[in-house]
Amino acid sequence: MTQVSLSQALKELNSGQINKGKATLNILAADKNTAEQALVLLFKVAMSEKNLNEAKLISERLVSIVPNKFDYINTLVQLYLSSGDSDTAISKLKVFVNVNSKDAGAHFLLGSLARKLGDGYLAKQHLLKAQENQFRDLYLLKLEIALVYSELLNDHKNAVLCLEEAIKIQRNNVSAYFNLANIYEKMGNKNKSLYFFQQVLVLNPEHGLAHARLADINTFNCASALNYEKTSLKIIKQEKDNSIVADLYYALGKVFNDIADYKKAWEYYFSANRVNRSYLPNYSKSDIKKLTELTLERGGKSVTSNENSELTPIIICGMFRSGSTLIEQILAASDYISAGGEIDYIHKNLFNLIANPVELANTASTSEFKEGYNRELALRANKRAFVTDKRPENYLYIDIIKSIYPNAKIIWTERDIRDNSLSAYFQHLGPSLNYATNLSDTLHYYTAQQKVKSHWLKKYTDDIFTVNYDELVSKPEKVLIPLFDFLGIEYKDENSSFHEKKNIVSTASVWQVRKPLYTSSSGRYKNFSEYIKQSIPEKEFEAFYNLSL
């Protein structure tokens, strides 16, 4: 009877009698003997009709009646993720692994999802559980664990060990070599970084990303620049991923900048940004205006302080490429300050609440939020009392930060906006920094940020210190002695040793901050003036060149 009924439902569906077939399947779904098969068919119908809510409800039923089948929980998790509900996806997976503690696939899925969502502790816990239960793809597992260590837990030693183990498992797979090269680059180990990027190219000579990264590590002469150009253009011609094409154009710009061929460098940078704009979301001046207004208007409910914290953040704000990594590196040469890099915790948890100041204040006041940020600081503290956080978007939350950490200090880095704009234009940045692909948009973003800075200066006059990049590189002690005094820390000539520090740097300035201070980047925009004039509208050009800090 069951077979006939299922066959009948299929016959009805195949003949186009969808509603009748669904009705038959719903009857069968109420019978425990046929429920699973009927629900699977109902799920397929819901997906063919693109009814994701119905598909989700059916998946919930499948998970409830077959609580040990990974395929069903995996499908349910993907449906929640597709609708943007990652919290529910995580909670459903947690329930499943509690019941099925030996399911390596479920532990891996939960661990990798937690990594993508930025929860390093949860990710590590379940990825190691997947390993303990002999997850079938050990190579992939090692890569995931390495990313958790390097990206979320600030444990690069264990990340390296995982990647070395991965290479032993699959010696001809480029992923582990590429990730090792990235880590050694962040560490400032040029020789090892070069070696592993070159290993990638041995295995895959047309690996565009590895080829592009070599441009940042090497310094070129005329002959090597032309050789690099020939290979790059060949890869570009075949490459289908626009992100990699953009990377290669940015790299070519850097290569020809090395040999002072500014005309050719500009042409490649211009092409890079044209490609980058093709897939990035458009920069919205109205959105930035609204964001600025919401930040300036914020007042009302205060946020309670984090009284139990023994750590004090030093928040470094300012435009991207304004010298923030440099000043962080100098500060981290002190015995009292640790470099935290760009900690995304505050922005990730608060950005979507900016339009609702009451909810924002409530969230920031919770012990969960405060403990979470303090945990991120502790990960990077290295037994020091002060930890820098140079996430660019932190300028939006100075009032929140000062409420939670009353002793927090704010450093605002600035440089000639013409140099700053070009420096950002010459980097392949992500969606949150999409203003950088257009000089006019960068100026607009800078103006909005300056309004917010003026607002905070009125509220926290004694707790904000402006560092001028051009003064810093030309007369360092004139800037650094009062800066350290502002922080309440004795200056011990950190300027002379910061470039020797063997710490992690995860920004585009990774190689620049490994050198002593130099002034060649000040006034750099003058090298490109005649070429920029040919590429942008006259009014934009005049606005750009009439600006100064």
The whole-chain average pLDDT of the chain stands at 91
Phi, psi dihedral angles at 149 (to 5 degrees)? -60, -45
Specify the CATH number for 285-545; select among 1.10.3720.10, 3.40.50.300, 3.40.50.10490, 3.30.70.141: 3.40.50.300
User: 184-197: per-residue pLDDT in tens?
Assistant: 988 888 899 999 99
535 pLDDT exceeds 80?
no
Per-residue pLDDT at 2: 47
User: 356-413: per-residue pLDDT in tens?
Assistant: 999 999 999 999 999 999 999 999 999 999 999 999 999 999 999 999 999 999 999 9
Spatial contact of 123 and 111, defined as CB atoms under 8 Å apart: yes
Per-residue pLDDT at 549: 41
Per-residue pLDDT at 138: 97
309 pLDDT exceeds 70?
yes
Per-residue pLDDT at 310: 87
Which residues on adjacent β-strands are paired with residue 386? 312, 337
**CB-count burial class (<10 Å; 0-12, 13-18, 19+) for 260:** exposed
Q: Please, which pLDDT band fits residue 516 given cuts at 50, 70 and 90?
A: low
User: 262-300: per-residue pLDDT in tens?
Assistant: 999 999 999 999 999 999 999 999 999 999 999 999 975
Per-residue pLDDT at 517: 59
Q: Please, which pLDDT band fits residue 455 given cuts at 50, 70 and 90?
A: very high
Range 25-33 average pLDDT: 91
Which residues on adjacent β-strands are paired with residue 467? 413
pLDDT exceeding 70 applies to what percent of the chain?
93
Domain ranges of the chain: 285-545
Three-state DSSP string of 277-314: HCCCCCCCHHHHHHHHHHHHHCCCCCCCCCCCCCCEEE
Q: What angle do CA 235, 241, 244 make, to 5 degrees?
A: 60
Per-residue pLDDT at 499: 63
Give the Cβ contact number of residue 117 at 10 Å: 15
530 pLDDT exceeds 90?
no
Q: Please, which pLDDT band fits residue 241 given cuts at 50, 70 and 90?
A: very high
Which residues on adjacent β-strands are paired with residue 312? 386
User: 70-84: per-residue pLDDT in tens?
Assistant: 999 999 999 999 999
DSSP reduced 3-state for 360: helix
Per-residue pLDDT at 463: 96
DSSP reduced 3-state for 220: coil
Measured CA to CA in angstroms, residue 392 lies from 319, 344, 399, 432, 536 at distances of 7, 9, 15, 10, 27
Q: Please, which pLDDT band fits residue 307 given cuts at 50, 70 and 90?
A: low
Lowest mean pLDDT: which of 25-29, 90-94, 99-103? 25-29
143 pLDDT exceeds 80?
yes
Distance (Å, whole) CA 369 – CA 357: 16
Q: Please, which pLDDT band fits residue 513 given cuts at 50, 70 and 90?
A: low
Q: Which residue has the higher pLDDT, 137 or 504?
A: 137
User: 119-133: per-residue pLDDT in tens?
Assistant: 999 999 999 999 999
